Amino acid sequence: MRSGVLVLCISLVGGLVATAAEKGGKPTVEKKDFGKTAEGTPVDLYVLTNGKGMTVKITNYGGIVTELYAPDRNGKFADVVLGFDNLDGYLKGHPYFGCIVGRVANRIAKGRFTLEGKEYKLATNNGSSSLHGGVKGFDKFVWTAESFKGQQSAGVQFRYVSKDGEEGYPGTLTTTVTYTLTNDNSLQIDYEATTDKATPVNLSNHSYFNLAGHGAGTVLDHDMMIAADKYTPVDDTLIPTGKIEPVQGTPLDFTTSTRIGKRIDQLKGDPVGYDHNYVLRQGEGKGPWLAARVTEPKSGRIMEVLTTEPGIQFYSGNFLDGKVKGKGGAVYRQHAGLCLEAQHFPDAVHHKNFPSIILEPGKTYTQTTIYRFSAK
């Protein structure tokens, strides 16, 4: 579904108003200069706008979604993802705002695994664990990019070649990630990867969402449903124990729409909050299937997440502490945003009962996740 984008008219008083879309404007893609890395590599920003005026901005530095404007029940747009106004904010370090995480999303215990009889030692960057690809994961590289547009959608395709041994992983991995903004107000992310040597692969997007607006406070009053009856319990280092247990009777039960803050105080941990992998119920066919639905009552904004993945990590922004200042000077305090990261299970390389994340030569890794926005 390669389609186009439309230019969004910005009203400083009433939020973003899609006046051009209302007049029947066509989808557009615009490429802008987004600065340079410390090494002097140019970085671009791609502005996608659909036929209804929804706009998404994505940079080829880490495939980061920097802005996403979704309409409320009155048709007014607000930026609903956390992030920074410029490239410098991302270069200085951040909690994975909006980026592609890989080669392996989430955690690998003790930063090591054994594959085909050989032990591999990874870069550790989260205590003794390797998190989201290590010290320099996919979120910290400039990807090559090519934009496209059509009648019903517009997008950009990113490509990155991860060399054999990068961050300790075996094999040269060639990855493409395609972002497509469609006229039904969906942002679809398609992932593909191939390798010349067996290697773990688990890619995801790490956007932080606040459907009231990126600087509007906490997400604890959002209502959420997760299509999962089970989850993977973790130890005090957030590494799965290997068990798969029911959510029923626990604070993790979102099988029916529930306010996120309703039971959060029942959780253990420091800081307190959600950071759990859910085992998704999958429907018939190849998917993607509905994984989660989030509603913000005041604005009426709704975000549905559909995916082909077996799991989704719900993270409630527990480690945000007010030290990060984002777009427009917004201060991102604890629970200022939520992540719904479609993925295979964390630390899958150490648990044979989890779906495998090993990609073999001659095979193609694929994953599709859709973030679909509406309002009522």
Give the residue numbers marked as catalytic. Answer: 206, 341
Can the peptide bond before residue 297 be classed as cis, meaning omega within 30 degrees of 0? no
Q: In the chain, what are the helix, strand and coil shares in percent, each to the nearest 5?
A: 5, 45, 50
Who's near 146: CB < 8 A, 6+ residues apart? 156, 157, 159
Determine the Cα–Cα distance for residues 237 and 241; give it in Å rounded to an integer: 10
Can the peptide bond before residue 103 be classed as cis, meaning omega within 30 degrees of 0? yes
Who's near 13: CB < 8 A, 6+ residues apart? none
Residue 189's DSSP bridge partners are: 179, 369
DSSP, residue by residue, 127-150: TTBEETTSTT-GGGSBPEEEEEE-
Closest CA relative to residue 197, chosen from 227, 216, 169: 169
Per-residue exposure over 147-184, b if at least 16 CB sit within 10 Å of its own CB, e if not: bebbebbbbbbbebebeeebbbbbbbbebbbbbbbbbb
SS3 of 185, please? coil
Distances (CA, A) of 177 to 30, 42, 226, 235: 18, 19, 25, 32
Asked whether 290 and 304 are in contact (CB, 8 A), the reply is: yes
User: What six digits make up the tokens of 124?
Assistant: 């550790």
Closest CA relative to residue 255, chosen from 287, 291, 285: 291
